[in-house]
Amino acid sequence: MLSVFKYFRKNSSSENSKSFLIVGLGNVGLEYENTRHNVGFEIINKLSKKIEGSFETQKYGEIHKSKYGGKQLFLLKPNTFMNLSGKAVKYWLSKEKINSKNLIVIVDDLNLDFGISRLRPNGSDGGHNGLKSIIKSLNNSKFTRLRFGIGNNFKKENQVDFVLSKWNNDESLKIDELAIKNVEIILSILKNGIEFSMNKFN
């Protein structure tokens, strides 16, 4: 079977350059709601409300299909759990014939202070299992990632507990406003491109 990377290269004429797949990474289940590792879900939920629409359960996740600024958007919350995020991303890129250059992944980042956002057009997985799964599945790291800082206020042996824990009181008061700011960043990418948005928001 052709990899998604080869599929795109050999079928470039059939790609839809105006279609985008926007993925919020997280884990499904009530026990993971409002946890640091699920900030991707929180931001994409806000995006869904902003552009009006709702998610429907489909293969490998919750999908919201809509249009914005003349572009076809596919918002995805994978239900494969974090470590298998690549399975869902690969499927939906292939199904909708979307090139990975039009893939935007929203992810939590331990290396950034809480609330700090960083845009990157490509790069390594940075130790994040969700990104690692996507890169491995696509055999490609050239896709946009929006990293949301969750801080690193934990002892080394407690990293897993930290990322799977809920926001503290101070963070809870700010998370909605910060999620909305990140929605603005995503909409800027769609309207103005990654370079403009990096210069404005990074």
> What is the Cβ-side half-sphere exposure of residue 77, based on CA atoms within 13 angstroms?
22
Say which CATH number the domain at 39 has.
Answer: 3.40.50.1470
The residues annotated with a catalytic role in the active site are 37
d(CA 58, CA 35): 24
pLDDT band at 12 (very low <50, low <70, confident <90, very high): very low
pLDDT bracket for residue 15 (50, 70, 90): low
Q: Total structural domains in the chain?
A: 1
Instruction: Pick the closest to residue 189 from 123, 113, 108, 101 (CA basis).
Output: 101
Residue 7: what pLDDT?
46
What is the DSSP secondary structure assignment for residue 108, as one 8-state letter?
E
Confidence of residue 149 (pLDDT cuts 50, 70, 90): very high
Quick: pLDDT tens for 38-67.
Answer: 999 999 999 999 998 899 999 999 999 999
Tokens for 31, please give them.
């026990």
Over the stretch 101-139, which tens digit does the pLDDT of each residue have?
Answer: 999 999 999 999 999 999 999 999 999 999 999 999 999
Contacts of 108 (CB under 8 A, 6+ apart): 25, 36, 37, 38, 39, 40, 128, 147, 148, 149, 150, 163
Residue-number span of the structural domain to which 156 is assigned: 4-201
Q: Which amino acid is at 89?
A: V
Query: What is the Cα–Cα distance from 139 to 133, expressed in whole angstroms?
Result: 10
